[in-house]
Structure 1
Amino acid sequence: MTGDATGRYAGVRAAVVGTGLIGGSVLLRLADAGLDVAGWDPDPATRERARAAGLVTPDTIEQAVAGRDVVFLGGPLPTLPRTLARVAAATAPGCVLTDVGSTKVDVAEAADRLGLTDRFVPGHPMAGAESAGLTAASTTLLAGAAWVLCPAPAAATHAFRWLTGLLVELFGARVVPMSAPAHDSAAALASHVPHLLAGALAGAVQRAPVRDAVLALAAGSFRDGTRVAGTPAERTANMLLGNRARVLDELAEVSAFLGELAAALRAGDAAALTARYAEAAAARSALLDPRYAGRDREFRTDGDHAAEVSWLRGLGEEGGHLTGCQVDATTVSYTAWCPLAD
């Protein structure tokens, strides 16, 4: 587990707005690390549960975020642009803002319209569970997670650097820097389409005449393949609709591959089936046994920010991540890792 706040993050005052599964886990971890952190949720019952757990939970969002150095925004995806505007108005210009939503383009565009790209860094910790709410949150849910951050060009670099260091130090995060559109394209295939497939499989079983027999026989493959079908339906719908075009594009690619499998099965072509499954197994193997090589990089703190952001985005889009970011008077140093070729 990651350690407590030290060094430049000792004394940081944080807030979390929207304390569901992910926001609640951020709140619990920051409190566990010893930070001065306040949480707020629009649901009064959730605020009462947080207070009962010993967490600071004011009655208003403005009270929760006032005087904070960093604010994490959670809640339903359609609400994030409005929440961002409200929090920005209630915080000082130096307060770093980020979110934990599962799509990034809409909230990044909202930040641009609001003139907040100098301090808002869109984020997405790649972790979760089929359960929901603060009662399902934990201090360890996000430990070691791949955590996407989307740096904007130029002035946003300072906020990105600071937030990267905080996430690495307090969560042990593997920070994946990407542009918002690149994130949404990758997340469509990594996360959103799997929700469609899980829903389709579980839904087909629910409608099947032999439903109960299927469930009695179901073992690991069915449980693993349908796990995310148990997530709250409204949350899944918001996620899919928030990335609709990209999800449909990637679903077409998955459907094409499924069509190849079906065609080989229909033709009784064992060689084609074997070849397609060998192709699929290569991706599964790379997921279970990833191999990386170090590629550290330095930039001048007052240098070419556009070049820095370009390098960061390229690193993430190549499958790489950051495990360190150190800033001194003249230099920013990144500890980076890139995947080795198969």
Structure 2
Amino acid sequence: MRAATLTAFGSPLTVHEVPDPRAGGGEVVVEVLATCLAPYSDEVFSGARRYPLEPPVIPGVGGIGRVVSVGPDATKLREGDLVWCDCTVRSRDDALTPDITLQGWSSRGEGGARLARYLHDGSFAQLMRVPTENVHRLPAEADPARWSALSVHTIPYGGLLAGGLQAGETLLVSGATGNLGSSAVAVALAMGAGHVVAPGRNRAVLDLLADRFGTRVTPVELTGDEDTDRAAMSAAAGPVDVVLDVLPPEAPSMVARAAAMTVREQGRVVLMGGVGMLGGPELALPYPWIMRNSVTVRGQWMYPRTANVGMIRLIASGALDLAPERVTTFGLGQVNDAVTHAAAHGGPFERTVLVPAA
């Protein structure tokens, strides 16, 4: 098969022939039809994001494909099934605190690194080997390129599940003008959120969100002053039930703190972004404020396995509409052009998709 390999950080991806993967017990081989590139892929491949990825590696975060072969323990998947391949792989020998790797992308701790060395390669290839439990059937009519946005939407969905978002509640999305943040706005409304506060500094994107979603979204233009911005966000929609932070690593901690502290008494704050990953001041939420207001603060990396099914249902039912998203596709031979395009087009509802068969 043909695949795109990262041979070293800072080097362009190389497209070449590699051996076909084979499914063992508990595994599935999938023909990759489409995989969505993260806008920050160039930062990962350059080494700027410091991800614990070990070259040489075929990268890629999940994808849509067709089942080619299954292991002997599969009971429902069949050859030819259209499927979503979730990149979040968990070790099978500790149900309470499993080690985790994002196949072809990142990992957590030494256990995650060991898991990554076994399930090393991702979706920038014509074929991919995936754990059986990470393969989820899709409606036969699903458009692979458009549905590959599952790799984006399922992340904030996991955060909203972690925050216990209920129908009718008010959510504030910290980082709403970014790729993940705008997805969080759309997913929350699909889940039944009554109101979403969308703060950011990009006026054009704030206007786009307001135009697309109407009065259920209140944009708030940030100034960079923590006290001013907190007051503006708090005044935008009354009591905030849940704050979801998906700010990128370069965002200052005070932006995340200002957003978090808009939450009401007994509200919930979920941290999913990258603030602090590249150094800088800590988040420093005040202990007395958390305690006296009975605020729940939790971190969430990715999402539980069941979130895949829930996200597929939201799209299949039409609750989350993928039609307005702007999808640009590239063939495998254009993979480096795709990485460049993704970096330049990482705004709301913009998807850069690699089609390995092309």
Is the pair's TM-score, using the shorter chain for normalization, greater than 0.5?
no
Q: TM-score, normalised by structure 1?
A: 0.29
Q: Which has the higher contact order (CA 8 A, sep 6+)?
A: 2
Larger helix percent: 1
